Amino acid sequence: MRIESGKLDRRVELLANLQRQNDIGEVIDVWTATASFWAQRLEMRTVDVARTSGTDDVARGRYLIRYRDDLSTDLRVAIDGVVHAITGIEEPDRRTTMIISVEGL
């Protein structure tokens, strides 16, 4: 799959969970931006739409990005100001492109 840089029109921030201790000693989760990159929104595949049965009220999407070696499903992304969990990572072209599947939180 080829990337046309003019179609990379979505700014994506990669968020990592850093556990911190608050003033009273409780451990809290803090999601912090560790990187940012550009992505292209892709149409949902037929199988993805069928899984949701048309009754899905959670934002879902697929995004084409340049290859990164620091992605995992433990991370989150903020796309256009909305935080999403990474639910899947595909690599259609070895170490060239990636497709991330996301679901709104």
Domain residues of the chain, as ranges?
Answer: 7-104
CB 78 within 8 A of CB 15: yes
Residues 22, 97: Cα–Cα separation, whole Å: 39
For the chain, what is the mean pLDDT?
A: 87
Q: Tell me what pLDDT residue 46 has.
A: 52
For the stretch 26-60, pLDDT in tens is: 999 999 999 999 999 998 765 555 455 555 556 78
Residues 59, 46: Cα–Cα separation, whole Å: 16
CATH architecture of 7-104: Beta Barrel (2.40)
Q: What is the pTM of this model?
A: 0.80
Residues 55, 40: Cα–Cα separation, whole Å: 25
What are the C-alpha distances in Å from 5 to residues 13, 26, 38, 64? 18, 44, 9, 11
Residues 1, 63: Cα–Cα separation, whole Å: 12
Q: Tell me what pLDDT residue 67 has.
A: 95
Percentage of the chain modeled with pLDDT above 70: 87
The residue count of the chain comes to 105
